[in-house]
Amino acid sequence: MSRPHDASDRQDGGSQAKLEARKITKLFPGVVANKEINLTLNRGEILALLGENGAGKSTLMNVIYGLYQPTEGEILVDGRPVEMHSPRDAIELGIGMVHQHFQLVPVMSVVDNIMLGTESVRGGLLDRESVGAQISELAERYNMPVDPDAIIEDLPVGFQQRVEILKALYRNADVLILDEPTSVLTPQEIDGLFDVMELLRSQGKSIIFITHKLKEVLRIADRIAVLRRGEMVGEADPATVSQEELAAMMVGRKVTLEVEKQPAATGEVLLQISDLQALTDLGEPALRGVSLDVRGGEIVGVAGVQGNGQTELVEVITGLRHAAAGAVRMNGIDMTNAPPRRITEEGAICHVPEDRHLYGMVDAYSVADNLVLGSYYQRPFSTGLTMDPQAIAQHAEELVQRFDVRTPSVRTLGASLSGGNQQKMVVAREFSRPIRLLIAAQPTRGIDVGSIEFIHSQIVAKRDEGIAVLLVSYELDEIMALSDRIAVMFHGRISAVLPRNQANRAAIGLLMAGVHPNTQQTVAADTIEND
């Protein structure tokens, strides 16, 4: 049961309040990121802060962590109003934050990262030894073993997160803010994280757990606060509230949590990947022999923790990265290491890239120019020696209509659209071409629920047209919701391919972590044991 929340009724948080935010308003040029938000965190509790992307969760936390100054309102710690001008002030008040994007220096060791900013120095030189010993002690107490001398970039993401938590604990944090901590973890790692959180709670630490995932909130939180469009819309009790009710609070309307789709009518193999190998930018092996078929009319989801070769797999398929060995065939034609343009044209492929700012769009281009990014050279956009701005604008007007891209004009710069509309712009460009193959990587990362629903329905529509869809996502929920078959990627290999109806989260979670489950469901030819 959710109860509507009056802004004033928690003003006097009582003696239990560890941290209190009162009437926090944060304005950015043209945007109200937070509007009169009240939030109370009690001692020894896990408070979930729920809200969809862009709801203002991170802004609020950055205010509490001293990274942003609130436009209005005040913060109280242990009942006393405090002023924070930088994270240093927050740290001194016992507030620690684990950012969604880890604030760790990749090329430095665990010790160096943890002591950074509060270094121990002996005789003018860094005292790495004693800090390392302290870290080991902390790690043992909170059951998070980690090698103090390891270099961050060599550690798996789950371990990097531990380092972030240890970093806060090393600074004697009583309040821990965890910003979307589960988005990078396997289901089993999430279990581990929740164990750690419970351990911390039992030792009197207070935790703010920021997320947009409903299931997790219900599992771990003592109390739930919901943010929508910069405003606190209410609180909920995890014991009584349902997922549907939470979703409605979060989005402001009823949302369907499941994607509706008909059974797949699969056709011939349109994408055939065999024994594909490739290197990372730094020359390390990224793909160690990937084989996978995708048929027309089916969605194959590639699940896995970020950094197990998914990015490189998509890049090699689309011609953006060189394949060291193996083959990629599209519609029966060998496209291994073909130039991207030939892959687009002859392979009849479209690609929704993982990072739209990195690949998918040019921030400084207008919406119209962004919409011809892959077809600018074709008629009618280019005729003879010159381009035709008129034709480009007309094309843009059409697509903006069809794909509901909300923009003041087609001449507006791509950078000034919201994340969801930018992604719809990319999808509009890619989906409007005649294609047989769709590669979608993280197609809904960091965008609002409305846009997510729209893009999901578009992907399913493509599949129903008989197009082969390869979906790569780090969000297991997205994979489970859309896929007809699920391929799990670990350490540069596909460790298993499961039909959707035989896949369960626990089994996939183990596969994502490189553990082969002892079930009958595995149909993978290539296992991780021979690594």
Partner 1 sequence: MSAIAKLSTTSRMSRRAAISLVLALALVAMAVLVNKTPLGEHTWLRVLFGISALNFTLRATVPLVLGALSGILCERSGIINIGIEGMMLAGAFAGFVAKTSTNHWPLTVSLIFSVAVAVAVGGLMGAVHALFSIRFRMDQIISGTVIIILALGASSYLYNRDAIAEGKFSSIPVPGLSQIDVIGPVLFDNPPITYLALILVLVVHVALFYTRWGLRTRAVGEHPRAADSVGINVNRYRYVNTSLGGMLAGLAGAFLVLEAVGQFQEGMTAGRGFISLAAMIFGNWNPFGALGAAALFGYTQALQNELLLAGVTQVPRQFISMLPYVVTIVAVSGLVGRVRPPAAEGKVYETEGSA
Partner 2 sequence: MAIAYPKVAFSRTLRALLIPLLALLAALVTGAIVMILSGDDPLAAYSGLFQGAFGDGKGWARTIRKTIPFILTGLSVAVAFKVSLFNIGASGQFVMGTIFSVAVGINFAGLPVFIHLPLALIAGIVGGMLWGAIPGILKVYTGAHEVIVTIMLNYVAALFGGWTVYAGGTQGQTPGPLWDETAGAISETPDVLASAQIPWLFGPPYRVHYGVFIAVAAALFVWWLIFKTPLGFEMRTVGHNMKAAAYAGIRVNFTIILTMAIAGGLAGLAGAIETLGLNHKFAPEFGGAVGFDGITVALLGQTHPLGVMLAAFMFGALDGGASKMQFESGVPADIIQIIQALVLAFVAAPLIIRMIFRLRQQPLEEAASTVSTSWGGS
- List residues binding partner 1 (CB under 8 A): 65, 67-69, 86-89, 91, 97, 99, 102-108, 112-113, 115-119, 121, 124-126, 150-151, 153-156, 167, 281-284, 491
Q: Shortest gap between Cβ of 391 and partner 1 (angstroms)?
A: 35
Residue 397 binds which entry of partner 1, partner 2, none, with Cβ cut-offs from 5 to 8 Å by kind?
A: partner 2
C-alpha pair distances (Å), 302 with each of 12, 106, 113, 402, 462: 49, 26, 33, 29, 18
How far apart CA 370 and CA 360 sit, in angstroms, is 9
CB nearer to partner 1: give 259 or 279: 279
Contact string 192-231 vs partner 2 (x = CB under 8 A): ----------------------------------------
Closest C-alpha among 504, 507, 503, 526 to residue 516: 507
Q: Which of 69, 143, 172, 390 binds partner 2 (CB under 8 A)?
A: 390
Q: Which stretch binds partner 2 (CB under 8 A): 46-54, 186-194, 210-218, 409-417?
A: 409-417
Instruction: Give how far the C-alpha of residue 231 lies from the chain's centroid of Cα atoms, to the nearest Å.
Output: 23
3-class secondary structure per residue, 54-68: CCCHHHHHHHHCCCC
Residue 181 binds which entry of partner 1, partner 2, none, with Cβ cut-offs from 5 to 8 Å by kind?
A: none
How far apart CA 356 and CA 428 sit, in angstroms, is 13
Q: Which of 353, 420, 492, 509 binds partner 2 (CB under 8 A)?
A: 353
Peptide bond into 181 cis (omega under 30): no
Q: Which of 107, 265, 364, 461 binds partner 2 (CB under 8 A)?
A: 364
Q: Does 31 help bind partner 2 (rule: CB under 8 A)?
A: no
Q: Which of 363, 404, 464, 531 binds partner 2 (CB under 8 A)?
A: 363
Which stretches within 51-107 are classed as H helix? 57-64, 87-92
- The one-letter code for the residue type at 90 is A
Burial bucket for residue 8 (CB in 10 Å: 0-12, 13-18, 19+): exposed
Residue 474 binds which entry of partner 1, partner 2, none, with Cβ cut-offs from 5 to 8 Å by kind?
A: none
Q: Which of 22, 162, 212, 351 binds partner 2 (CB under 8 A)?
A: 351
CB nearer to partner 1: give 18 or 491: 491
Cβ atoms of 11 and 22 within 8 Å: the answer is yes
C-alpha pair distances (Å), 468 with each of 264, 314, 326, 350, 432: 11, 14, 21, 11, 15
Q: Which stretch binds partner 2 (CB under 8 A): 131-139, 167-175, 370-378, 445-453?
A: 370-378
Q: Which of 136, 183, 306, 382 binds partner 2 (CB under 8 A)?
A: 382
Q: Beta strand pairing status for 382-383 and 437-441?
A: unpaired
Residue 182 main-chain phi, psi, to 5 deg:
-95, -10
Q: Which of 196, 269, 279, 387 binds partner 2 (CB under 8 A)?
A: 387
Residue 421 binds which entry of partner 2, partner 1, none, with Cβ cut-offs from 5 to 8 Å by kind?
A: none
CB nearer to partner 2: give 15 or 386: 386
Residues 6+ apart with CB under 8 A from 504: none
Contact string 301-340 vs partner 2 (x = CB under 8 A): -----------------x-x------------------xx
Q: Shortest gap between Cβ of 68 and partner 1 (angstroms)?
A: 5
Q: Shortest gap between Cβ of 328 and partner 1 (angstroms)?
A: 24
Burial bucket for residue 458 (CB in 10 Å: 0-12, 13-18, 19+): buried
Around Cβ 256, how many Cβ atoms within 10 Å?
9
Q: Shortest gap between Cβ of 120 and partner 1 (angstroms)?
A: 9
Q: Does 88 help bind partner 2 (rule: CB under 8 A)?
A: no
N residues, the chain: 531
Residue 385 binds which entry of partner 1, partner 2, none, with Cβ cut-offs from 5 to 8 Å by kind?
A: partner 2
Q: Shortest gap between Cβ of 113 and partner 1 (angstroms)?
A: 8
Q: Does 394 help bind partner 2 (rule: CB under 8 A)?
A: yes
Residue 125 binds which entry of partner 2, partner 1, none, with Cβ cut-offs from 5 to 8 Å by kind?
A: partner 1
Cβ atoms of 144 and 160 within 8 Å: the answer is no
How far apart CA 347 and CA 351 sit, in angstroms, is 11
C-alpha pair distances (Å), 333 with each of 39, 69, 336: 59, 57, 9
Q: Is the dihedral of CA 455, 303, 251, 181 positive or negative?
A: negative
Q: Which residues make up the interface to partner 2 (CB under 8 A)?
A: 29, 318, 320, 339-341, 344, 351, 353, 358-365, 369, 373-374, 376-377, 382, 385-387, 389-390, 393-394, 397, 410, 413, 415-416
